[in-house]
Amino acid sequence: MNILVVDDNKCIRDVIGAMVLANDHQPVVVDGYAAALEKLRRQVIDVILMDIEMPEVDGLTLTRMVRKEFSQWIPIIFLSANDSARYLADGIEAGGDDYLTKPVKEEILNAKIKAMARIAEMKHQLDEANKKLEMLSCLDPLTNVLNRRGLEQQLQESWQKNGKARGELSLLMIDIDFFKAYNDNYGHPRGDQCLQQVASVLTGTLLNASELVARYGGEEFVMLLPSTSLAQARNRARNIIAALSQAELVHEYSDVAPRVTVSIGVSCSSLGAKDHQVLIEQADQALYQAKRRGRMQCVLFQKMTQIW
């Protein structure tokens, strides 16, 4: 483990550093707050051993600075010659985790480092599990693409990024045609399979990691296309219709073709949407037009021009 030792006294730094090394850890020794913050920004530190009485910035203030700047929790053990209860309480209040009085006994120091490292590891595992849960809560379990919640988060992010970059963000609302008839005639399990196949065809048309597919609802998908103009989005919609045609997913009960087809509504930030919700609404309105005009086609918002 990398143990950061912060103490303005060279003698104490050397002694503590030697103890850390003797217990098979790597000491990272610094003389004050500036060097400590610099090390924390540049390398992985597992535990901090910190003097309280230091010139310029004392240990309590430095602890507050560390807790404010670094979101990941790193255990902090104070080392102080002062053994008053007030000092200990102030240290914990500032964000420290334990307190040792100097001179420090090597065995005790090593045991405290071990205990803190154990808690830090448990915290790390918990954070990882939470991240995984958060990711799962954004995925549609049937198709494995993002669900509506995941889309909402990504869309918000992309909208903000796009605004800053003054780029064009396009969105396709994609709906399977006559899916009720598919379900009614082939049964729900095959309907589920069809949704998975359509999701896979859609995902196969993505061009880079910034683009994404999400399941918006029942048989409705959204494709988010950052850095894509309206004209480019129209071509992407055409490609999707062609890709599905090539996939030849049989649908004998559709009125438009003997295979699974989709209708697509296209919107783009260049058409004046004031926020990401409006971008969705515009694509939805365009989709409605595509359905009304006979399905298996895409329609651009505003101009409502049939292009397929």
Ligand X SMILES: Nc1nc2c(ncn2[C@@H]2O[C@H](COP(=O)(O)OP(=O)(O)OP(=O)(O)O)[C@@H](O)[C@H]2O)c(=O)[nH]1
Name the site residues for ligand X (rule: CB under 6 A).
Answer: 142, 175-181, 183, 188, 191-192, 195, 218-219, 291, 295
Of 76 and 174, nearer to ligand X (C-beta) is 174
Largest interatomic CA distance in the chain: 86
Query: In angstroms, what is the C-alpha Rg of the chain?
Result: 29
Least Å from the CB of residue 227 to ligand X = 30
**Cβ-based neighbours of 34, under 8 Å, separated by 6 or more:** none
Of 163 and 217, nearer to ligand X (C-beta) is 217
- Is 107 a catalytic site residue? no
The strand order across the sheet containing 76-80 reads 26-30, 2-6, 47-51, 76-80, 98-101
Grouping H, G, I as helix, E, B as strand and the rest as coil, residue 256 is coil
Least Å from the CB of residue 191 to ligand X = 3
Token pair in block for residue 298: 């895409």
Of 142 and 242, nearer to ligand X (C-beta) is 142
Helix axes 148-165, 276-292, angle to 10 degrees: 110
**Cβ-based neighbours of 41, under 8 Å, separated by 6 or more:** none
Annotated catalytic residue, options 121, 211, 219, 248: 219
Least Å from the CB of residue 279 to ligand X = 21
Of 29 and 222, nearer to ligand X (C-beta) is 222
Least Å from the CB of residue 214 to ligand X = 14
Ranges of beta strands (E only) in the chain are 2-6, 26-30, 47-51, 76-80, 98-101, 170-176, 212-217, 220-225, 262-268, 298-300
Least Å from the CB of residue 238 to ligand X = 19
E strand or H helix at 35: helix 33-42
Helix axes 33-42, 59-69, angle to 10 degrees: 30
The whole-angstrom separation of Cα 54 and Cα 109 is: 20
Least Å from the CB of residue 216 to ligand X = 11
End-to-end CA distance of the chain: 62
Of 46 and 177, nearer to ligand X (C-beta) is 177
Of 218 and 272, nearer to ligand X (C-beta) is 218
- Contact present, 268 and 169 (Cβ < 8 Å): yes
Q: Which residues are catalytic?
A: 219
